Each structure stands twice: as C-alpha cells, then as structure tokens.
Amino acid sequence: MSQALRMDSDKVSPKIKAPYDVQAVRKRFPALRRMENGMPVAFLDGPGGSQVADTAIEAMANYLIRGSANVHGVFSTSVETDELLLRARAAMADFLGGRPDEVAFGANMTTLNFALARAMARDWREGDEVVVTEMDHRANVDPWISAIEDKGGTVRWIRVDRERLTLDLSDLTSIIGPKTKLVAVGLASNVIGTINDVRTIADAAHSVGAYVVVDAVHAAPHMFVDRDALGADAILFSPYKAFGPHLGVLSVKADLYDRLQTYKVLPQLEERPDKIETGTLNHEGIAGAEGAVKFIASLGEGETTRDKIRSAMEKIEEHENPLAQWVRARLKAIPGFTVYAASDDVKKTPTIAWRVKGMAPRDVCLHALKKAIYIASGDFYATTLAMILGIRASGSWVRAGLAPYTTREEVELLVESMEELAV
Ligand SMILES: Cc1ncc(COP(=O)(O)O)c(C=O)c1O
C-alpha cells in the first residue's frame, strides 16, 4: 500500500462497521488462497463469475463421491438424485422467490432463455412485438429478437439515457402497447451496475397483457430478489455468479409455465418443471447450486431460509456498496479516467466500468495483473450499450466487480494500480 494512500484519510476506503467477519468469509473460498507471482490474487471479476464457496464445492464433490445416477430409478443413488433435485429447486425458490415446482435447471442462463423464447413464441403472429432494452446483456435480447423475427414481428427498444446511464422510461407507453407480447429487461446492468426500475416496466407490460422476463443474473449476487414483487413472469439466474458452479436457473410463474408449449422429446414429462429441461441435467452442478444458497443463507439471520437470505443480502449490500462508491469516486478523480456510472442517487450493484484515455481496456487489465489484480475488459455482451456509447470499436470497458469476500485492501490496491496510469 502506498504511503500517500494510507496517510491521506480521504484517499483510504471507508472503514465501515463490518456487517460480518470478512476474513471468516474468505476462509470459505479455497480459491482465495491463490497466489500469482508471489502475490495474493485480488479476485475482482465477480461479474464474470464469482469464486465458489466451500458448501458448494463439498456438495458437488459429495454427490460424485457418494455415487451419481440418473433420475427416477429404484436404487439409492437414483432416489438420492431425485431428492437432490427437489431440494435444489426449493433452494432456488428460496433464493429467487416463487415455488420449487416453478424452477428449471439448464446449462446456463442463455440456453434456458432461448428455450423459453422458442416456447413462448409458438403462438406469436406477424405484427406482434417484443420489447428489449439497450442496457441488457445480449442473453436477454437475442433470444427474443430471433423468436419474434421468426414470426415476422417487430422489436422495440427501451433506450438508455446517454447522459444518466439509466433506462429512459419517459415514453414507455409508446414502446409497450397492444401488440406487445413480451418485455425483456435486466434487473441490473452487468457493466455499469445500474439497477433498473423493473416494477414500473412490468406494470406497463401487464397493463397490455404482455409477459415480463427478467434477467437477474447480475443483480442476484448483490441484492435480495423477489420474482413476484418485481412483477416478473419469468426470471433467470446463473449460480456461477453467486458462489456456485456453472449452471443456469429459470423460474417461471405457474400460469405461464403451464401454458408453455416447450420443445421437448416425446418421453419427457409434460408437466412443469420438467417440460423445459431437455436431456440429463448437471446433477453435480445442481448440488453445488444448493450448496451456494446454503452459503448465502449462512451469512444471515431469520426463521426461514428465505428470511436468512434476505438478511444476508442486506449485509452483502452493506459490505459491498460503500466500497464500490469509494472506488468509483477515486477512479473518477484520476486524470484521463472516465467512469461509466449513473449518478449517486441511482441504486447500483458494486460493479464499476471505466476507460483510460489513450489506452486499450485490455492493456489496463494487463497493468493491474502486475499486482495480481484480476479485472476484465470488453463489452461483456452488453454489446448494445457499448455501441450506443461509441466505445465498442475501441475495446469497450475495463470492469471491476466486488463480492462479499472483497477486502478494503484489495480495492485500495486496485485504485493504487490505476493511479499509476494517470494521464
Ligand atoms: C446480466 C447477465 N445476463 C446473462 C448472462 C449470461 O449468463 P450465462 O453465462 O449463464 O448464459 C450474463 C453473463 O455474464 C450476465 O452477466
């Protein structure tokens, strides 16, 4: 740590009253012991994928060690696999809201969203419309564009206010109308962190009889998610962003789920949740997803698992948000740096995007790597946002994301490393 950074109190990250023991949390993530060139690694690419909690790793290993199997058999390992699936669906319902029999698992969020889009589009007609946003990850854009184009329909866009870096909801009623079948929106931007007013968009969609599909992949590791309170008819999530393994999760409200004509093989069950789950699932990954929810719940207090998750997410916000706010302010103050963030009054996840004048974003990451800081560059599939801001051709952004295990020392090291690039 540089002397200047330590001595000037304005320049030191806020000493928040810790909502939990960060060092104890760090011990639960074996990967955090990793060293690079003799230095401890600062894992600041959480939005690309978090590190995995001990309970998730153990659950995956135990499933394989005790004997894996396919489902619906008479023997113990098969029965245990059926039980695991039931428990994991319940864990995901605890995490996202909704009911266990509304939860489907798949390879990843993108694959599940394509399956959902194909199923929902079966009864769409020429002239129908879908609404997507300029802020979303393309995983919640292209499945809907493909599906509506197949039917000869139209895509409408909710624009991003270029100055405010929030969704422009001023002309929502002219974008969402009687022809709208579906509105797809992200709960939070995986690059600039803006948390969107999903409820207002959902109310507008429902007032014309359209469905709402919410991408919670980026938001869910940083805030308490309640599918029904958001007004989502379907919500998607990826456990590998929240301390679990690579997997996708979809939760669809029963009335929509029951109506879906999914593309499926003949012997596959017609009922929810199985009807959208093609092929054999990733049972060990599903065990890990349950383990990840256990980790999150263990940070909180309350009667039920859902109460514990709510309390844990509040603590995670309390830990992450002041540090992120400090990083944004410090980076903004460095000559030649442009931070892409909505104003302070807009709620954000602890995900920070910036550019350095005259430097390719990838080179900024390589500079950070000299101090074993792991940050990433690119458009992160928020491709539309990078295009409308005119930065895609020049490498888009550098991005850092905080996690519950991120320390003050790590974010100070990041700022110190970036200050070396002052123009
Ligand atoms: C906001 C957001 N949505 C969707 C995805 C895609 O998720 P998956 O990799 O599970 O398909 C990502 C992955 O980075 C994401 O950040």
Mean pLDDT, rounded, for 176-203: 98
Q: How confident is the model at residue 18 (pLDDT cuts 50, 70, 90)?
A: confident
The pLDDT of residue 111? 98
Average pLDDT, the chain: 96
Architecture of domain 3-33+305-419 in this structure: Alpha-Beta Complex (3.90)
> What fold is seen in the domain 56-297?
Aspartate Aminotransferase; domain 2 (3.40.640)
User: What number does the ligand 1 atom closest to the CA of 247 have?
Assistant: 10
204: helix, strand or coil: helix
When mean pLDDT is compared across 16-30, 56-70, 72-86, 283-297, the lowest value belongs to 16-30
Using one digit for the tens of pLDDT, what is the confidence trace for 209-254?
A: 999 999 999 999 999 999 999 999 999 999 999 999 999 999 999 9
Where, residue-wise, is CATH 3.40.640.10 in the chain? 56-297
Ligand 1 site residues (CB inside 6 A) read: 108-110, 137, 139, 186, 190, 215, 217-218, 238, 248
Whole-prediction pTM value?
0.96
Distance CA(372)–CA(351), nearest Å, equals 19
pLDDT at 6: 38
Q: To test ligand 1's pocket by mutation, which of 108, 137, 195, 282 has the most ligand atoms within 8 angstroms of CB?
A: 137
Ligand 1 centroid to residue 380 C-alpha, Å = 9
| Phi and psi torsions of 167, nearest 5° | -70, 140
pLDDT score at 8: 43
Q: What mean pLDDT is predicted for residues 39-47?
A: 98
On the question of a cis peptide bond just before residue 273, with omega within 30 degrees of 0, the verdict is: yes
Whether the predicted pLDDT of 3 surpasses 80? no
What is the best residue among 218, 238, 383 to mutate for testing ligand 1's pocket, by most ligand atoms within 8 Å of CB?
238
Of the candidates 112, 335, 71, 329, the one whose C-alpha atom is nearest the C-alpha of residue 234 is: 112
Give me ligand 1 centre to Cα 187, in Å: 12
Least confidently predicted of 7-21, 39-53, 220-234, 379-393: 7-21
Write down the residue that tokens 């109190």 correspond to.
9
Closest atom, ligand 1, to C-alpha of 186: 1
Radius of gyration of the chain (CA): 22
Indicate which atom in ligand 1 lies nearest the CA of residue 113: 11
Which parts of 195-350 are beta strand (E)? Answer: 211-215, 234-237, 248-252, 337-340
- The pLDDT, as a whole number, for residue 4 is 35
Residues of the chain with CATH 3.90.1150.10: 3-33+305-419
With a cut of 70, say whether residue 347 has pLDDT above it.
yes
Distance between CA atoms of residues 105 and 211, nearest Å: 21
Q: What percent of the chain has pLDDT over 90?
A: 96
